[in-house]
Amino acid sequence: MKVEGQFQVAAAPAAVFGLFADPRRLLDCLDDPHTVDSVQGDQFGGTITTGVAFIRGTFRFTGQYTERTPGQSVTTKIRGSGLGSAVDATLHAGITPADSGASLAWAADIVLTGPAATLGERLVRTTIEKKAAAMFERARQQLEPAKPG
């Protein structure tokens, strides 16, 4: 399954790259409870408690940055497993300067196996899109200065 989208932020491309190239900072944008227990060079690992429909639990994941071009793009491969299901994903984020900061075009190629794969692409896609939207909103909040209230 392929999902993709675009994210606009009032921050410099270098700042956006800094967030997406750091697994601890990026994972802190997730709403789901998670840990990052190892970061060594381009590799990282941890846990995330998440779910789709009635399948919910803690999944162990490992990831590796396969490409990091400062200020321009990040590509990551992630493998996760838990509750008899597994996910393999390749995530790519391309960063370009925009009038008011930066534009980030992202794409994820995701393969699910096990019970999670039986839920149907529509349900899984909807869940992934909701979680991505929430993650990018939290990223925006981290990158943009607070507006005076």
- Note the pLDDT tens digit of each residue in 77-127: 999 998 888 889 999 999 999 988 999 999 988 888 887 777 766 777 788
In a domain, 149, yes or no: no
Mean pLDDT of 66-75: 96
Within-domain flag for 61: yes
Report angle CA 30, 21, 56 to the nearest 5 degrees. Answer: 25
- What's the CATH number where 122 sits? 3.30.530.20
- Segments forming the whole domain that contains residue 29: 2-143
Contact 3, 59 (CB under 8 A): no
Domain count of the chain?
Answer: 1
**pTM (predicted TM-score):** 0.85
Q: Is residue 90 part of a domain?
A: yes
Place of tokens 């071009």: 69
pLDDT in tens, 36-68: 988 899 999 999 988 776 667 888 999 999 999
pLDDT recorded at residue 19: 94
Question: For residue 148, is it within any domain?
Answer: no
